[in-house]
Amino acid sequence: METWLKTIFEYLYITIGTFGVAIIVWGVILSVYKLLKLEFSRLKNKSIYRERESVRHQFASYLLFALEFLIAADIIATVIHPKFEEIAILASIVVIRTMISYFLEKEIEKFNVSKRDLSA
């Protein structure tokens, strides 16, 4: 029974981690596409600063979303192999990812506020 449960957790770990990576890849594809469109419009002497910042923040939101999946996958991996060293590594990864998420959220929030102020 225990090996069956361990196998299920391993598949969950791989699946959830794959979703996290897929979200990052999708965000990169969309961001590169939008950035290329903007750069071609810049060649026509159009200012793209605000739009480029918007693309940057959209990409950051994909990264944030993917980080949640990757943290979940790491937690499942620790359940599969609950050694102290892996728990310590997981804790440090979670702290680092949480800090990254926090600062990315703050930056996105700040951008959205300034975007609303400009449109008002």
List the pLDDT tens digit at each of the 120 positions of the chain.
478 888 888 899 999 999 999 999 999 999 999 999 888 887 777 777 788 888 888 898 898 899 889 888 888 888 887 788 877 877 887 788 788 878 877 877 777 776 666 665
Q: Are 59 and 31 in contact (CB under 8 A)?
A: yes
| pTM (two decimals) | 0.75
What's the CA gap between 72 and 69, in Å, rounded? 5
- CA distances for 117 relative to 55, 112, 114, angstroms: 18, 9, 5
What's the CA gap between 44 and 50, in Å, rounded? 16
